[in-house]
Amino acid sequence: MTSLPESRPPGGQPSGKGTRLRASFGGLVVPVAIIGAIAAFETARTTDASREVFFNISTPWLMYFVFVLSTAVIVGAFVQRARIWRLGKPRPVLNNFGARLTNLLTAGAGTSRVKNDRYAGVMHGLIYTSFIGLFIVTLLLALDDYLPLIFGSDAEHAFLKGGVYLAYSLAGDILGVMGLVGIGMAVYRRYISPPDKLTWDKRPSEDAIIVGLLGVVLFTGILVEGLRIGGDEIPAGNESWSKWSPAGWLVAKIFGGVSESALLDFHVGFWWFHVVGAFVLLALMGVTKFRHILLAPLNAFFKRPATPLYLAPMGDIEALIEEGAGLGAGRLQDFTWKELFDADTCVRCGRCTEVCPAYTAGQPLSPMALIQDLKTYMNHAGPLLIGGKDPETELAEPLVGGYVKDETLWACRTCGACMQECPVLIEHVPSIVDMRRYLVMEQARVPATAQAALQNIEQRGHPWRGTQLTRETWIEQLQAEGIEVPMFDGTQDYLYWVGCSGALVERNVPITQSVVRLLIQAGTSFGVLGQSETCNGDPARRLGNEFLYATMAQTNAETFNELGVRRVITACPHCFNTFKNEYPDFGGRYEVTHHADFLQLLVAKGALKPKEMNGQTVTFHDSCYIGRGNGIYDSPREVLESIPGMKLVEMPRNRERGMCCGAGGGNMWQEEAGTRVNHLRAAEAANTGASIVATACPFCIQMFDDGIPAIQPDEEKRTIKAYDIAELLEVSVKPAAMAVQDGAVEVPPGVA
C-alpha cells in the first residue's frame, strides 16, 4: 500500500496541530455563521418581547411585607449570634488583606474545597450556582422595574426587553433546572445512598426542611412561569417568546388543555406560594446551617493566612495570671471570637471526621462532633453570659470535661487533616490546643505519660525519659570513624539543628549521622550546637504547656541571636515548623530549611551524585508538619527519584491528603485507646508492595519501626522496612554503593 507523503511546512518539519486547528476552525466558521444569522433573525422578530413584573398579581405590596418579615428574622438571628461571637477575645482579621481576599474569592465564594468530594462537588456546584444565579436574576428584575421610577422615566422596562429579555428568560430557566438536578442529587445522597459521614450527626428535620423547601421553591418558580406562559403569552400569539423559557414552555404545553382563566387562577395561587416559600427559605438562613451560604465566604476571609499548623502565642502569661484571666480556653469568653464563629459555620458534612486519623483508628475524637459540642455549649452559655449569669453555676457541666471530654482533646494529633478537608475553612486545631492549655495550666489534668514528658523537658531539656544517650553521643561515634563534626561558632553559613529525637533516640542517631556525612561530602559550611542544644519547646506547646514552650522559645531565640545564627537546617519537621513559623513571635527570625529541601538542592547542583540501587521499590510517607503544614511534597520524592533504579509508588493517602503516623500532638508520649494509628499507616505502606517506606521525620520513623513488627510479627517474612531519605541517599552516594535486590537494601550504619 502506498502512503501519501506527509505535508511539511518550510524547514522540513512535519506539520503539527496548528494546521489541523486551522482546518477545524475554518470548518466551524460557516455553521456558526449560519446559526448566528438564524438567531439574529429570530431575535429581530421578538424585539418587543417583555413581560409585566407583577403580572396577574393585584396586591404586590403584600410581597414587600413578607420580605420585611423575612429580613427581620435574618437580621435578628445574626445580631443574636453576633452578640455571642463578641463574647470571645479579639482577633485581628484585616492584616494580610490581599491573601484574605484571595481566600474569600477562591475557597469561600469559589467553594474550591467542596469539589474534593466529587459527587458532593457537582451537587453543591449545581445548587450553589442556581441559588446565586437566581438571586442575580431576581435582582435584575427589580432593577428593571425600579430604575425607570427612580429616574422619572415613562418606560415600562429599563433593559429587560427584546433580545435581552429573551436571553434573561433562558438564563433563568437553565438556572432553575440546574438547581432541581442538584436537589435530586442531594436527595439521593442523603436519603437513598448516604455515605457514612452523613450519618454521624443526622438531624432529619432540619436537613429535610432545607433540601425540601429549596426544591419546592425551584419547582414552583418554573411552574409559575409555565402557568403565565400558558395563560397569557401563548394565547396572545407570542409563543416564539415562550420557547426562550424552555422549562416554562414545557409546563405550559403540559397544561395545554386547561382554560386560560383556570391557568391564571392557578398562577396567582402558586405565585404567592412560591414567593412566601422563597422568603421563608431566606429566613432559614438565619436559624439553620443554611446560614453557611453567608458565613462560609466570611470565614474564608477571617481564616488566618499563615501556615496552617501555626499556633498563636498567648501573650504575657505572668500578666494573665496576675490579672486572674483564664489560661487556655475553659470558658466561652476564653476563645477568640473567630473560634466561636467557626462553630456556627460548621455544616456537619463529616469531611473532617472522615480523614481524622484518631477517628479512623476508633479513638474518641470526631472533629465534627467536637465543633458541634462547642456550638451546643455556645447556645447554652452565650445567652446566660449576655444576661449577666454565670454558666459555671447555671449549667450542669463545664465545657472542658463535660461538653467536650478530656480524652477527645488528648486524642488529637494536631495533624491538620481536618482543616485541610473542611470546605468552610474551620480551624479545629487551635481550638483544641486552647482547651489543652486549660487542662494543663489551669486544671493540671494531663495523662501521666504526657506529664512525664513535660517534666523531662522542664528538668532535662528534652522529652525522652530514660535515654542513655547524650547530645554528643552521635558526635563521638563519628569521631571514632575519623569524622570531625564542626561546632557552630557564627562563622558558618548554617546551623544544623539536630533536635531531641535526632540526638537522644537510638533509632534516629544514624539519620543524624547520615545527614552530617552528606553535608560534609557536599562541602556545606555548617556547625552544630552539641551539648548546648536543648528542646525547642514544640512538644510542650502541642501538649498544652504554653508557659514552658514560651520560656524555651525565648531562651533559644536569644541564644541563636547571640551566636549569629542566620540559617538553620533541621531533619525534624516539628522543629522546622516551630523555627520557621512560630519563633518569629519570640524574636527569632531565621532562614529555615528542612533537610529534604536541602538534600534535593545538593543533588540538583551535582554536589551529591546518587549511584545505582537496583530493584528498589519505595513508598514515601508525608510527615504532616512538612507536608500539610508547610507544603513540602516534591523535594523528598525528588531525592528518592534521583537514585537510579529506585521505583517510587504512592500510598492511597498521600501528599496533602496523607495520613498521620500517629505521633503528632504529643501522642508520641501518650497511650492510645483503640487501634494504634501507626499500625494502620504501616499496613497501608506494606500494602503498596514496596520494600521500603521512606520518610523525612524522626517521629514517623519511630512510629513505623513500632508499627511494622505489629502488622508483620514474623521477622523472617517481613516485607518492608522504614528509612529516612537521608539514609537511602547516603547509601547511594557511597563510592562503592552496593547494587542490591528488592527487600535487601544495604542497612545504613547503626540501624538494626
pLDDT in tens, 359-378: 999 999 999 999 999 999 99
Q: Tell me the C-alpha distance between 701 and 63, whole Å.
A: 66
Q: By C-alpha distance, which of 167, 165, 171 is closest to 144?
A: 165
Give how far Cα 215 sits from Cα of 66, 218, 278, Å.
20, 5, 10
The mean of the pLDDT values for the chain is 89
Residue the block writes with cell 571514632: 480
CA distance 459 to 438: 22
Tens-place pLDDT, residues 49-103: 778 888 889 998 999 999 999 999 999 999 999 999 999 999 999 999 999 999 9
pLDDT-above-70 percentage for the chain: 91
What is the C-alpha separation between 124 and 177, in angstroms, rounded? 14
Give dist(CA 351, CA 355) in Å, integer: 7
The vertex-42 CA angle with 40 and 48, nearest 5°, equals 105
Instruction: Give the amino acid at 122.
Output: V
User: How far apart are the C-alpha atoms of 527 and 714, rounded to whole Å?
Assistant: 42
Burial of 315 (0-12, 13-18, 19+ CB in 10 A): exposed
Half-sphere exposure of 44 (CA within 13 A, CB side): 6
- The C-alpha angle with vertex 751 and arms to 747 and 752, in degrees rounded to 5, equals 100
Q: How far apart are CA 414 and CA 623, in angstroms?
A: 12
Helix 162-187 / helix 246-254 crossing angle, nearest 10 deg:
80
pLDDT > 60? residue 16: no
Give residue 735's pLDDT. 57
Q: Alpha-carbon distance 61 to 737, whole Å? A: 87
Torsion of CA 135, 141, 147, 149, to 10 degrees: -120
Q: Is the pLDDT of residue 404 over 90?
A: yes
Q: How far apart are CA 328 and CA 238, in angstroms?
A: 69
Report how far residue 152's alpha carbon sits from residue 325's, in angstroms, rounded to the nearest whole number: 61
Residue type, 520: I
Reported in sequence order, the residue ranges of 338-447 that DSSP labels E, i.e. its strands, are none
Sign of CA dihedral 277, 279, 284, 289: positive
Percent of the chain clearing pLDDT 90 (strictly above):
79
Contact 626, 573 (CB under 8 A): yes
The 10s digit of each residue's pLDDT in 571-601 is: 999 999 999 999 999 999 999 999 999 999 9
List pLDDT tens digits, range 696-747.
Answer: 999 999 999 999 999 999 999 999 999 999 999 999 998 544 433 344 444 4
Q: Are 649 and 618 in contact (CB under 8 A)?
A: yes
Q: What pLDDT digit, counting tens, does each position of 134-145 carry?
A: 999 999 999 998
On whether the 311-445 domain is CATH 1.10.1060, my answer is yes
The closest alpha carbon to 271, from 246, 250, 248, 293, belongs to 248
What's the CATH fold of domain 608-733? Rossmann fold (3.40.50)
Domains 461-601 and 608-733 share a fold: yes
Neighbours of 613 (CB within 10 A): 23
In this structure, the number of other CB atoms found within 10 A of the CB of residue 118 comes to 8
d(CA 666, CA 411): 9
What residues contact 568, with CB distance under 8 A and at least 6 apart?
Answer: 494, 495, 496, 497, 579, 590, 591, 592, 593
- Whole-number Å distance between alpha carbons of 62 and 30: 53
What number of CA atoms fall less than 13 Å from residue 464's CA on the CB side? 19
| Alpha-carbon span 60 to 62, nearest angstrom | 5
Q: What pLDDT digit, counting tens, does each position of 159-208 carry? A: 999 999 999 999 999 999 999 999 999 999 999 998 888 888 877 788 88
pLDDT of residue 126: 95
pLDDT at 47: 59
Query: Which secondary structure element, helix H or strand E, spans residue 618, and what is its range?
Result: strand 616-620
β-pair partners for 695: 724
Task: Let me know: does 604 contact 639? Beta carbons within 8 Å.
Answer: no
User: Residue 587: which region, alpha, beta or left (left: phi > 0; alpha: psi -120 to 50)?
Assistant: left
Q: What are phi and psi of 695, to 5 degrees?
A: -145, 180
Burial of 496 (0-12, 13-18, 19+ CB in 10 A): buried
Which H/E stretch holds residue 567? strand 567-570
Q: What cell does 126 get?
A: 449545581
CA distance 537 to 141: 61
Q: What DSSP designation does 89 have?
A: B
Read off the C-alpha cell for 375.
456550638
What pLDDT was estimated at residue 503?
97
DSSP alpha helices (H): ranges in 229-336? Answer: 239-242, 246-254, 260-284, 292-302, 317-323
Provide mean pLDDT across the span 499-526: 97
Residue 741 has which C-alpha cell?
Answer: 535486590
Q: Are 695 and 621 in contact (CB under 8 A)?
A: yes
pLDDT, mean of residues 676-680: 97
Give the residue from 232, 258, 260 showing the smallest Cα distance to 245.
Answer: 232
Question: What ranges do the domains of the chain cover?
Answer: 117-287, 311-445, 461-601, 608-733
When pLDDT is averaged across residues 335-342 and rounded to a whole number, the result is 97
- Residue written as cell 529525637? 501
pLDDT confidence band for 539 (50 / 70 / 90): very high
Separation between Cα atoms, residue 530 and residue 738, nearest integer Å: 32
Report how far residue 462's alpha carbon sits from residue 458's, in angstroms, rounded to the nearest whole number: 8
Instruction: List the one residue out of 161, 135, 180, 387 whose CA is nearest residue 282.
Output: 135
Euclidean distance between CA atoms 239 and 232, whole angstroms: 10
Task: Identify whether the C-beta of residue 746 lies closer than 8 Å to the C-beta of residue 723.
Answer: no
CATH fold for the domain made of 461-601: Rossmann fold (3.40.50)
Strand partners, 619: 649, 693
DSSP assigned state of 494: E
Lowest mean pLDDT among 32-46, 299-313, 725-739: 32-46
Residue 295 has pLDDT above 70, yes or no: yes
694 - beta bridge partners?
A: 620, 723
3-class DSSP assignment, residue 244? coil
Tally of helices (H runs) and strands (E runs) in the chain: 31, 8
Quick count: other Cβ atoms within 10 Å of Cβ 82? 12
C-alpha to C-alpha distances, 102 to 96, 291, 300, 426, 658, nearest whole angstrom: 10, 21, 9, 16, 25
Whether residue 34 is predicted with pLDDT greater than 90 in this model: the reply is no
The predicted model scores a pTM of: 0.87
**For residue 189, which amino acid is it?**
R
Give me the pLDDT at residue 5, please.
Answer: 34
